[in-house]
Amino acid sequence: MRDCLREASEARLYIHTHARTPARPPARTHARPPARTPARPHARTHARRHAHTHTHTHTHTHTHTHTHTHTHTHTHTHNTHTLHTYIHTYIHTYIHTYIHTYIHTYIHTYIHTYIHTYIHTYIHTYIHTYILLVLSMPMSTNWLPSD
């Protein structure tokens, strides 16, 4: 009786799993995804998109904060002359600091975020795809532990 229930359960799971999925190549004897899985392009796309968004936001925030602070400090510290000198120093410092900070922050943040996001997304997506691949295998393969 127990064997009948187990076979019925396996058959139900097999039908439920494969009724909605396209035909697959013959099952392997070990649970390992093929060399090229949908995880790779998906992980790359997601990582690039997330890195770009995070980099853009962080760069603008850091650049504006640093530029305003540096410009304000530099202008007030080094300039006790005329209004013309004050404006000239302010504009020069603002532009110089903005460009320098923007480039530095953008490069640093982009590299850091891209590497972090790529690794995180790649691992997450790869594991997710791996699990789906393993769960979609027929129950008759020998990767299951035997009783």
Amino acid 142: pLDDT: 60
Q: Give the containing element (helix H, strand E) for 41.
A: helix 39-78
Residue 88 lies inside a defined structural domain of this protein: yes
Residue 130 lies inside a defined structural domain of this protein: yes
Residue 12 lies inside a defined structural domain of this protein: no
Total domains in the chain come to 1
| pLDDT tens sequence across 52-105 | 777 777 777 777 787 778 777 777 776 666 777 777 777 887 788 778 877 887
Residue 113 lies inside a defined structural domain of this protein: yes
End-to-end Cα distance, the chain: 16
Residue 142 lies inside a defined structural domain of this protein: no
Residue 26 lies inside a defined structural domain of this protein: no
Residue 7 lies inside a defined structural domain of this protein: no
Residue 29 lies inside a defined structural domain of this protein: no
Domain limits for position 115: 34-135
